Amino acid sequence: MVKGYLCLVLHGHLPFVRHPEHENFLEEDWFYEAITETYIPLISCFERLCEEKVDFRLTVTLSPTLISMLNDPLLQERYLKHINRLIELAHKEIERNSWQPAFQKLAIMYLNQFCKARDTFERYNRHLVRAFKNFQDAGKLEIMTCAATHGYLPLMDVCRASVRAQVKVAVSHYESVFGRKPRGMWLPECGYQPGHDEILKEAGIRYFFSDSHGVLHGTPRPKYGVFAPVYCKGTGVACFGRDLESSKQVWSSIEGYPGDYNYREFYRDIGFDLEYDYVRPYIHPDGVRINTGIKYYRITGNHSHKEPYVPEWAQETAAAHAGNFMFNRQKQAEYLYDFMKKPPMLVSPYDAELFGHWWYEGPLWLDFLMRKIVFDQDELRLITPSEYLAENRRHQVITPSLSSWGWKGYSEMWLQGPNDWIYRHLHVASDRMTELAKDFPHADGLLKRALNQALRELLLAQSSDWAFIMGTGTHTSYAVRRTKEHLLRFSRLFEDIKSNSIDPNWLSDIEYKDNIFPQIDYRVHQ
C-alpha cells in the first residue's frame, strides 16, 4: 500500500560559456567535465533502467543555457576533441602504472568510462538532449524548464518585464526543443518572489519548486507543511516545497553520503598530482594545472593521507546508501501518513552536477535507488509533479514566502558587497529594453536583428551565475568580465538603435559570439 510519494528532482544547469574566438577556454571545461561525469552517466543510468524495464520516475531540469550548449555544433566538436584527449591520456596512464596494479586497474576503468562517453555522444549524433527527450517521451522522465539564462528572479522584481522575458523565452525555447510546452519551471536557485506566479501562469507553467521555508512560511500556514503542494493564491500555480531531511542526507558534506570514506576523493586529480611535463598536454595550454577527471584515491579518512580507490567497495557502499535512503523515506512516509491521513509528497531536489561530478558514485546510487523502490517494496511510489497533480487535484491555497535555496535562504548570496553593484546597471538595461520594445512594436530587417540581440545580451548579463561567482570571492574576474561585456554590448545596441545607426558588421560579430536563442522575439520584454 502506498504510504508516500517520492519526487526526485535533478536540476541541470550551466551558464552559457561559449567562446568561438578562443581555441581553448578554461571555463568551457565546466561544460565538458559535466558531460563526461554527469550528463552521460545519467543517460547511461536511464538507458540501463529502461532496458531492464524498471518503471522509474525522475524529474530533471535542463536549463535553456545548458540545452543551447548541448546543441551547439562548435561545442560538440570541441567536446569530441576533449574526450579524445582524455582517452589518449588514459591509455598512457595504463602503461605508466604497469607496476602499480591498483592504479592500473583504475586507469582501465577510466579508459572504459571515457570510451563509453564518446560512444554515447556519437550514438546520439552528438545531441545528448535527444536522449533526455526520448526518456521523457517514454514517460520515465519529466523535463522542466528554467528561466532563460538562470536569472535570479527576486532581484529582478523591480523590472517585471525582465522576469517575463526570462520566463517566456525559456518556455518557447523548450517548445522548440521538446515539441511540447513545459509543465514545470525550476525557478533559478529556487528564488521565489510572491507575484511571480502570475507570470508563470501567463506562460502556461503549472508548477514550480521552492525551498522548505518558502512553503512553511507561507500565509496562511500550510496544513500539510511541505508534504503536499500548495496552490499560489490568485493564480493556482502549484508550488512544491523541498523536504529538508532527504536533502540533507545527500547534500551535506559531513553527514551526507558523498563524504563516505569508500567514495572517490574529488580533490586528488592527476592534473595536479603528476609530474608537470607529463600532464602538460592535458592541462590548460597556458600551463595552468586543472582537473583532468582521472582521480585515483578514495576519501579514506579525515586526513590528508589517501588510499587507492576500490570500485567494488564504492559500489557496495552506494548500494547500501540507496537502501538506507529508501528505508529512511519509508519511515518518514509512515510517520507522516499517520497524522496526515494521506500519503505525503516527499520532494528531494539536487543539483544534477552533484551526481557524478562531485559525487562520483551518485549516478550509481540513483540506479540502485530506482530499482529498489520499484522492485523491493510498495510503500513508496516514485512520481513526477505532473502525475501527482493529475491524481491529486485539491490543495490548499496560500501565498508562499520570498525564499531561495541559496546561502541563508534568501537573496544574500546574490546581493552582498562583491556583487551588489551589478543591479544598478542591470535594472537600467531592463528599463531600456522595455523602452525599445515599446518604441518598436513592429521591427524587421536589421533593426529587428539588433533588437533581438539586445534582448540576448540583457538575458546573458542577468545569469545568476555571475553574481554567484562574485559572491564566492574566488576566480571572480571571468564573472565580472561577462557581466560587463554583455551590459556594454547591450548599451551600444541601445544607443545604435536609438540613433538609427546600427553597425551591421559589429552586429553580425556579436550575433556570432552570443548565438543563444536563435528564435528569440524581443517583444516578450514588456
Binding residues for other proteins restricted to 190-229, rule: CB under 8 A: 194, 211-213, 216-226
Q: What is the DSSP string of 49-84?
A: HHHTT----EEEEE-HHHHHHHT-HHHHHHHHHHHH
Query: What angle, 0 to 180 degrees and rounded to 10, lies between the N-to-C axes of helices 477-498 and 445-461?
Result: 150
**DSSP letters of 129-147?**
HHHHHHHHHTTSEEEEEE-
Choose which of 126, 425, 448, 511 interacts with other proteins (CB under 8 A): 425
Per-residue interface string for the shown chain with other proteins, residues 259-298, x marking contact by CB under 8 A: -------xx-x--xx-x--x------------x-------
* Beta-carbon-side half-sphere exposure of residue 248 (alpha carbons within 13 Å): 7
> Of 225 and 323, which CB lies nearer to other proteins in the complex structure?
225
Cα(310)–Cα(386) distance, integer angstroms = 40
Give the x/- contact pattern for other proteins in 297-336, rule: CB under 8 A: -------x------------------------------xx
The answer to whether 430 and 159 are in contact (CB under 8 A) is yes
Q: Report, in Å, the least distance between residue 124 CB and other proteins.
A: 22
Neighbour tally for 446: CB within 10 Å: 13
Size of the site for other proteins (CB under 8 A): 103
Contact with other proteins (CB under 8 A) among 50, 108, 115, 244: 244
Instruction: Check residue 412 for interaction with other proteins (CB under 8 A).
Output: yes
481 binds other proteins (CB under 8 A): no
Output the CA angle 154-399-181, nearest 5 degrees.
Answer: 70
Task: Give the interface segment with other proteins, choosing from 179-187, 196-204, 411-419, 518-526 (CB under 8 A).
Answer: 411-419
> Contact 199/156 with Cβ under 8 angstroms?
no
Interaction of residue 363 with other proteins, rule CB under 8 A: no
Question: CA angle at residue 197 from 192 to 199, to 5 degrees?
Answer: 115
Among 135, 468, 494, 517, interactor with other proteins by CB under 8 A: 468
Between residues 443 and 507, which has the closer beta carbon with respect to other proteins?
507
CB-CB contact of 398 with 218 (8 Å) = yes
Nearest distance, CB of residue 372 and other proteins, angstroms: 25
Taking the complex as a whole, the smallest distance from the CB of residue 13 to other proteins amounts, in Å, to: 8
Residues in 117-156 at the binding interface with other proteins, rule: CB under 8 A: 154-155
Per CB under 8 A, 511 contacts other proteins: no
Q: Are 210 and 241 in contact (CB under 8 A)?
A: yes
Within 131-234, strands assigned E span: 141-146, 184-186, 207-210, 230-232
Please check whether residue 382 is in contact with residue 206, taking contact to mean a CB–CB distance below 8 angstroms. Answer: no
Query: Which residue bears the cell 540513483?
Result: 366
Q: If binding is defined by CB under 8 A, does position 25 make contact with other proteins?
A: no
> Segment near other proteins (CB under 8 A), from 39-47, 110-118, 243-251, 373-381?
243-251
Told to check if 247 binds other proteins by CB under 8 A, we report yes
Stretch touching other proteins by CB under 8 A, among 53-61, 80-88, 420-428, 516-524 = 420-428
Q: Please tell me whether residue 2 binds other proteins under the rule CB under 8 A.
A: no
Work out how close the CB of 278 gets to other proteins at its nearest, in angstroms, rounded to a whole number: 7
CA distance 259 to 289: 25
Segment 90 to 109, residues that bind other proteins, using CB under 8 A: 92, 95-100, 103
